[in-house]
Chains A and B, each alone.
Chain A
Amino acid sequence: MEQTVACAETETLRVSSLRAFAYCRRLFYLEEVEELYTQNESVFAGRRLHAELQKLEREDWQEFNLESVALGLRGRVDALRTLEGHLIPYEHKIGRSYRDRQQQPQAWYSDKVQILAYACLLETVLGVTIPEGRIHYHRDNVTVRVPVDDAGRQLVRDTIEQARQLRASLERPPICSNEKLCLNCSLAPVCLPEEGRLAHDPQHSPLRLFPRDDEREIIHVTVGEAVIKRAGEQLRIAIQDEPEQKLPIQQVGQVVIHKFAQITTPAIHLCAHREVGIHFISSGGRYIGSIDNRKGSIQRRIRQYQALTNPDQCLRLAQLLVNCRGQSQRRLLLRGQRNRQDDLPALQDITTQMERLLSTISYASSLEALRGIEGNLAALYFSGLPYLLGDQVPKELRFNGRNRRPPKDPFNALLSFGYGMLLKDVMNAILTVGLEPAFGFYHQPRTQAPPLALDLMEIFRVPLVDMVVIGSINRMQWNLDECFEVRRDHVWLSDYGRRKFIELYEARKGETWKHPVTNYSLTYRRLLELEVRLLEKEWCGEAGLFGKLILR
C-alpha cells in the first residue's frame, strides 16, 4: 500500500485524466486507479480529427509534450499559435459546445478545466504568461475563448490536488449525480451507473446502459485432430481433409478446446491480445483451465479480498446464493406439477418441505449450517426431478439420484457435462470482470475448482443446465447408442452427443431473460457477466442486486 501512495505523490497527472476528473470522479478513478480504459467511438473519431487537422495545416502544426513536476501535470498540447505576441493554446473537440441561457456557445466545464490546465502547464514550463486558451468545437464550428486568470489558475491547482488525493485513496467514488453524463461515457458498461442508482433507490427505473448482447461467436473445437492457427488478423481452423475455416478475430469471443485439438503459439498470442479467452475442456467434459490475459486491476481484487475476509459479508452473500438456487429449484418442480392433470402428492410434499427449508435460510448462523440446508434442499430437489420426465422417456434415460466422478447413467452424464460447460462460462465472466476466481465466499478452496466460480455457478445451474437436460430428454432428443458411450459403470457423451449438447446449451444461452430487478431483458450470456458485476457492487456500497435471478 505504501508503495502505491508514494508513487502517486511523485507521478504527474495527465491533463486528459484531469479532464476526466472534472467530468466524473468515478470515471477518473476507474481509469487511473483501476486501470480500466475502454475506447469509445469518439476517442477514435477524435484521433482522426487530429490527424486530419495535422494534414491540413502541416506548416504551423506542432505538438508539445510537456511535463512539470512542480505543477504535477503532463500532457500534449494540441496546437499552439502566436497571436499579437502571446502564445495561445488550442484544443480541438469533435462534439458541440455548451449553450448558455442566451444560446451563446460556451466551453463545457471539463473542457474548460482541460484548456486551463494546458495554459498553466505552458506557463510553468516555458515561463511565459498565457492570456487565454481557445477551444474549437467542430460539430457546431465555433471557437470558445477561455480567459486564463488567477481564478482559473487556482481552479487547476485545486483540481490537481483533489485528483491526487482521490488517486491515493482506496474508496471508489459514488456514481455521479448527473445522469446525462453517463449516457456518453465509454465506461458505462463497466461502471453500471444505472444499476447503482437502482441499488440506492428501488423506485428508480434504470435505463439499460449495459450492452444487450455480446455478438462475438463462441468457437467450440470438438475434433481432436483440428489445428487452430493464426493468419494475419484471422483464426484459421484446419481439420484434416476439409477446407480451412476462416474466422475474423473481432468476431470471436471465446475459443473452447474440447479434447486435444491443437492451438499454435501465434494463435494464442492473437487471442490474448484481443481479449479472447481460450478454455480447455477434457474429453470427459471436465473444465481444465483457461488461458486468459484479462487481468483485473489489483485494486478490484484488494477490495474483493477485504470484503470476503469478513465472515458476516460471506454469510450474507452465501444466504442470497443458497436462497436463489433453492427457490429456482423449487419453482422448477412446481412447473412440473402445473403441467400435469393427475395430482402428484409426492411432488407436492417435496415442494412444501423445500419451502419450509427455504424459510430457515435467513436464520442460518454459519456457513456450515447453510451447507446443511443446501444439502437437504438438493436432496429434495433431486428426489423430485424424476417426476419432471414424461411417460414417453425410456427407462435408460430416467433419473435415479445424482452421481458423478464418474457419472453412472446418461442423465448424470448430461448434467456433469453441462456443469463443466457452465463452470467454463462463469470463469470467463469472472475473468472478464477482473475478479479473483480462487477467492469465494461459500465454497471452500479445494484443488482444481476455483471457489468463486463454483459460488456463482449455483445461480445458473437450474436455468442453464437442468432445464436444458430435462427439456431435451422430454423431447426425446437423445439416442442411447449414438449419443453415449457406456463402459460398465461409466457413461459419457460420444463425440456426436457432445456436439448435440453444446448446440442445445449455446442455444439456451442465447435466449433472453428479463432480469427481475433491473427489469430489462438480456441474453443469458450477458446475464452471466452482469451477475458478476452486480456481485462486485455488493462490497462497493451498492448492494442489493445480487442473486435475484430466480425462476418464475
Chain B
Amino acid sequence: MIRESRGLGDELKKSVLLTPAVLVLILFFLIPIFLTVYYSFTNLALNGEGARNVQFIGLENYSRMMTDPNMINSIVTTLIFLVGSLIGQQILGFFIALMMKGKNSRFRSIIGPFFLAGWIMPEVVVALCSFAFFDRSGTLNAILQSINIPMVEWLYKYPLLSVIIANVWHGMAFSMINFQSALDNVPGDIEEAARVDGANYWQRLFYIIIPQIKNTIATNTMLNTLSTLGVFGLIYTMTGGGPGVATQVLPIFMYKQAFVSFQLGYGTAISMVLLVLGLIFSILYARIVED
C-alpha cells in the first residue's frame, strides 16, 4: 500500500514535469510537421485564389515537380554543392587534423583558432566575408590585379564554385575538430608496429589510420551532409540563388517558390523532397557505420 502511493507520487511528479516538454514538442514540432505535409497537398498561396480559398489538390504539386526543369536543376545543383562541400570539408579537415597531430599544444593553440574562425562565425557573417572576398572589387580581385591578372567576376562567372569554397571554409573546422579527436585516439603502438614492419607513411595512413577512424568519417559525413543540405543564408546572401538559377539549391528554390512566386503549397512540397533527401542520406550513412 505504501509502495503503491509512493509509485503514484512518482508518476504524478513525472507527469507534471514531462507535460510542458510534451506540449512544446506537440506545439512546435509535431503540429508544424503535420501541417507542412498537409500543405504540400494544397494550393496554398500568399495571394490570389490560393490565399482566400485553400483547396486540397492531391498529388498535383508532386506531379508538377516531376516535369519541372527547375526542380531537376535544383536537385542537380544541390548534389554538386553537397559533394563539393563534403569533399572540401572532409579532405581539408582531415589533413589539417593530421598535420596538427603530434605537434605540441602551443602550435595547436596558435594555428587552431585560424581554422576555427570560419566555423564560429554566424552563417550570414561568413556569407558577407565571402562576398567581400569574391566581389568584383573584393580581396581576391585585388590580389589578382596586383600581380597583373585581369579581374574576374567570380560570383557571376563561377558562382557555384564560389559558394562551395565559402561553405568549405565555413564547415571545415567542424570536420577538423572531429578528426582531431579521432586521430588522438588511434593507438600509437599499432602504427609503430606497422612502421617496424616496413610500411611507409602512405601505407600507414591508408591501412592503419583511416580504417581506425572510419566510424568518425561516416558520422562526420552524415552531419556535414545534413547541415549542407540545409544551407540557405550563405547562398542567398552571396548570390541570391543566381545568376539565373546557377546556385539555386533546393532550400533557395523552396524559398523562391514560397515567398517570391507566392506558391506556398508548391514550396512546402519542395521542402518534403528536401526532407526525404536528408532521410535517404542518413539511412545510407547509418548502414555504413553499422557495417
Q: Are A and B a genuine interacting pair, yes or no?
A: no
Q: Which residues of B contact A (CB under 8 A)?
A: none
Q: Which residues of A contact B (CB under 8 A)?
A: none
